[in-house]
Amino acid sequence: MKRVAILISGGGSNMLALVRDMTQAHYAQPVLVASNDPAAGGLAKAAALGVPTASVDHRPHGKDRAAFEAALAEKIDATRPDILCLAGFMRILTPGFIRRYEGRMLNIHPSLLPKYPGLHTHALALAAGDAEAGCTVHEVTAELDAGPILGQARVPVLPGDTEDSLAARVLTMEHQLYPAVLRRFVTGDRTPVSLP
Ligand code: GRF
């Protein structure tokens, strides 16, 4: 059974969706939830579900990304994961780290890539007057938010939408998309998932 490590920075709602789906459908095993923030709310939620957790505070490492990533990789590799899922992980990773896991590292991004890589995706969609928005799961490569797309989920932008109302509608779809992509990814099938 494929072993899956999940990296988070905050509440970890996407991590929870992945852990619950793996636990219910037994297609993979969550072996670690790790965070760059020791106070990340998702760590306690993962522990409550019996998933091993770890954290490496990025702040003491300052601008030395490589040192932070070496400490993080050591904790990740100790659990021998086959797949790495970034889920609300908010640190930029260096090409060196990405090379260690390339081809088996996924990320979820709250826009319909290639539109709106980077931050503030919902504000940008609203400002552009887009009729629809959504989220993307992609393989992580050295170029930020630009790897091969493994799945997308679309939602309508509704009159009166705010950043928060749109983010909430997209987040609901993230929780459906990421598990659907992981189920397919563990079989070696790279055909993109499309929701709804
Ligand atoms: C979500 O919008 C996700 O798309 C982005 O981080 C936000 C929080 O994710 N990557 P989570 O609730 O911590 O999974």
Q: What is the 3-state secondary structure (H, E, C) of 25-59?
A: HCCEEEEEEEECCCCCHHHHHHHHCCCCEEECCCH
Q: According to the model, what pLDDT value does residue 125 have?
A: 98
Q: Which is catalytic among the residues 58, 61, 109, 138?
A: 109
How remote is the CA of residue 5 from the centroid of ligand 1, in Å? 16
pLDDT at 183: 98
- What mean pLDDT do residues 99-128 have? 97
User: Within 10 A of 104 (CB to CB), how many other CB atoms are there?
Assistant: 16
Could you report the per-residue pLDDT of 131-171, keeping only the tens digit for each? 999 999 999 999 889 999 999 999 999 999 999 999 999 99
Counting every residue written for the chain, the total comes to 196
Ligand 1 pocket at CB < 6 A: 8, 10-15, 87-88, 108, 110, 135, 171, 174
Three-state DSSP state, 18: helix
Give the Cβ contact number of residue 93 at 10 Å.
Answer: 22
Closest CA to 3 of 78, 74, 81, 73: 81
The pLDDT of residue 59 is 96
26 is catalytic: no
